[in-house]
């Protein structure tokens, strides 16, 4: 295992076409679950110049205006350019309403343990959860910082401090590690787009982003920029309008940004656009929950939890824990504590996280808020899988 290395992770703003698609897909999921918590829905989206395509399959007692949900997301994200905006873009849908032959409707909150045990996974999946002590959120530092930069880039656009910025943007942070711990900030890259306003000269763009985006993010970070940190602003592309008019988008194409910035493994399956019965989505959440509690309990400095599910079985066929040599106990012993402390069954996950009800309980929906700036390590949202309420149980054994 390498001890000294440099690692980079990237994030994107909510206006990036892929993230726009994730938000539209999850907004559709929210709308169905707000009306019918037992709804089953899968929604996928693609965007290009002036066009939005949405494919949705659902079994629900609900009437959802899918194009209306998409237009609301596009408007809220801030697309107002002639080539792509909420008013004039064409929205095409492929709707498949599922009917007879589906499993009966259930409410996991009212189920007995025996009934929970009889609800199997309906899809096969291997999912990963990861946590480490590199940041306050117990996330890898490169992706944590990349998300903060992307959020700040979007914030200065929305509040008009940099009114010339467009919704599309990217960030990347490189961190040098010594003895597998963050040592210094190697590099920062920001890609910004414009909204059609007059362009600032490159020197002003650099100064603006350094003063209003980069420095505020690092003001309270324990590792600061130094004289050798490389800062690149739009290094190889013109200051374009960005967005779907420049590059197309697709749901589920930013899995590393949704999870751990590729510092740890993640499932190949998309997270957005799926209701809570999809084990490839909720399994990733409960795996993160377990890994974070292991680190919060002080059992390891970093931890990866692997869960493998097979169709027709309620419990994962494999549960593995890897602490990369940082565990206070052998990985097998920590793994045994994890299996005793956490419910990895699909219906059990839905019940303990209240995943069917959250879209109606949270103002403005729930799943759409996860679709930009990561679905793990979100300290701005009260996410059930980010709680560390099982740490004392794990520590006591």
Show which of 216, 243, 270 is a domain's final residue: 243
Running DSSP on this structure, what letter comes out for residue 5? E
Residue 203 sits in the same domain as residue 352: no
Show which of 209, 243, 277 is a domain's final residue: 243
199 assigned to some structural domain: yes
CA dist 61 and 68 (Å) reads 18
Residue 382 sits in the same domain as residue 267: yes
Residue 49 sits in the same domain as residue 181: no
Whether residue 1 is predicted with pLDDT greater than 60 in this model: the reply is: yes
Spell out a b/e string for 291-326, using b for 16 or more CB atoms within 10 Å of the CB, else e: bbbbbbbebbbbbbbbbebbeeebbbeebbbbbeee
- Residue-wise pLDDT for 65-91, tens only, equals 999 999 999 999 999 989 999 999 999
Residue 287 sits in the same domain as residue 349: yes
Residue 317 sits in the same domain as residue 391: yes
Residue 292 sits in the same domain as residue 344: yes
pLDDT at position 101, please?
A: 45
Q: Are 55 and 288 in contact (CB under 8 A)?
A: no
- Look at the alpha carbons of 141, 14, 356, 320 in this order and tell me if their dihedral is positive or negative: negative
Residue 217 sits in the same domain as residue 158: yes
Show which of 215, 243, 271 is a domain's final residue: 243
Confidence band for 106, pLDDT divided at 50, 70 and 90: confident
Residue 130 sits in the same domain as residue 258: yes
Residue 220 sits in the same domain as residue 289: no
68 assigned to some structural domain: yes
118 assigned to some structural domain: no
- Look at the alpha carbons of 238, 241, 247, 252 in this order and tell me if their dihedral is positive or negative: positive
Q: Radius of gyration over alpha carbons of the chain, in Å?
A: 22
Residue 239 sits in the same domain as residue 302: no
109 assigned to some structural domain: no
pLDDT at position 102, please?
A: 53
CATH number for the domain harbouring residue 70 = 3.30.300.10
CA dist 130 and 180 (Å) reads 15
Q: Name the pTM for this structure.
A: 0.97
Residue 227 sits in the same domain as residue 267: no
116 assigned to some structural domain: no
Q: What's the number of domains the chain is made of?
A: 3
Q: Are 386 and 290 in contact (CB under 8 A)?
A: no
pLDDT at position 193, please?
A: 94
Q: Is 284 left (phi over 0), alpha (psi -120 to 50) or beta?
A: alpha
- Residue-wise pLDDT for 259-287, tens only, equals 999 999 999 999 999 999 999 999 999 99
Residue 216 sits in the same domain as residue 327: no
In what helix (H) or strand (E) does residue 169 lie, and over which residues does it extend?
strand 165-178
**Phi and psi for 84 in degrees, rounded to 5?**
-160, 115
Domain holding 352, by residue range, is 125-134+252-396
259 assigned to some structural domain: yes
pLDDT at position 98, please?
A: 84
Residues 6+ apart with CB under 8 A from 16: 168, 169, 170, 249, 254
Whether residue 18 is predicted with pLDDT greater than 50 in this model: the reply is: yes
CA dist 191 and 168 (Å) reads 8
């Amino acid at each position: 295992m390498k001890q000294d290395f440099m690692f980079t992770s990237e994030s994107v703003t909510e206006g990036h076409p892929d993230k726009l698609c994730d938000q539209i897909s999850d907004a559709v999921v929210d709308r169905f679950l707000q009306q019918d918590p037992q709804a089953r829905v899968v929604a996928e989206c693609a965007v290009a110049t002036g066009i939005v395509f949405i494919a949705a399959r659902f079994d629900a007692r609900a009437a959802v205006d899918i194009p209306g949900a998409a237009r609301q997301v596009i408007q809220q994200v801030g697309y107002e350019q002639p080539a792509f905006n909420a008013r004039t873009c064409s929205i095409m849908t492929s709707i498949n309403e599922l009917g007879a032959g589906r499993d009966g409707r259930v409410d996991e909150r009212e189920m007995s343990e025996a009934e929970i045990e009889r609800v199997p996974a309906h899809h096969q999946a291997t999912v990963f959860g990861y946590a480490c002590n590199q940041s306050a959120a117990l996330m890898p530092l490169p992706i944590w910082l990349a998300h903060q930069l992307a959020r700040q880039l979007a914030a200065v656009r929305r509040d008009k401090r940099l009114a010339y910025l467009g919704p599309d943007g990217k960030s990347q942070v490189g961190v040098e590690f010594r003895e597998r711990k963050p040592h210094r900030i190697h590099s920062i890259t920001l890609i910004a787009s414009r909204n059609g306003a007059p362009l600032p000269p490159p020197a002003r763009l650099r100064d603006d982003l350094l003063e209003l985006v980069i420095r505020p993010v690092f003001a309270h970070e324990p590792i600061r920029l130094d004289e050798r940190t490389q800062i690149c602003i739009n290094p190889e592309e013109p200051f374009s309008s960005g967005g779907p008019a420049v590059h197309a988008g697709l749901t589920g194409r930013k899995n590393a940004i949704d999870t751990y910035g590729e510092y740890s493994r993640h499932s190949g399956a998309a997270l957005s656009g799926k209701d809570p019965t999809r084990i490839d989505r909720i399994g990733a959440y409960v795996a993160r929950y377990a890994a974070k509690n292991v680190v919060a309990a002080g059992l390891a400095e970093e931890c990866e939890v692997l869960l493998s599910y097979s169709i027709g079985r309620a419990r994962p066929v494999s549960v593995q824990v890897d602490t990369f040599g940082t565990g206070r106990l052998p990985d097998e012993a920590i793994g045994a504590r994890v299996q005793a402390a956490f419910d990895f069954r699909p219906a059990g996950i839905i019940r303990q996280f209240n995943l069917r009800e959250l879209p109606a309980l949270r103002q403005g929906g729930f799943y759409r808020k996860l679709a930009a700036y990561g679905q793990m390590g979100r300290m701005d949202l009260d996410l059930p899988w980010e709680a560390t309420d099982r740490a004392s149980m794990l520590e006591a054994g």
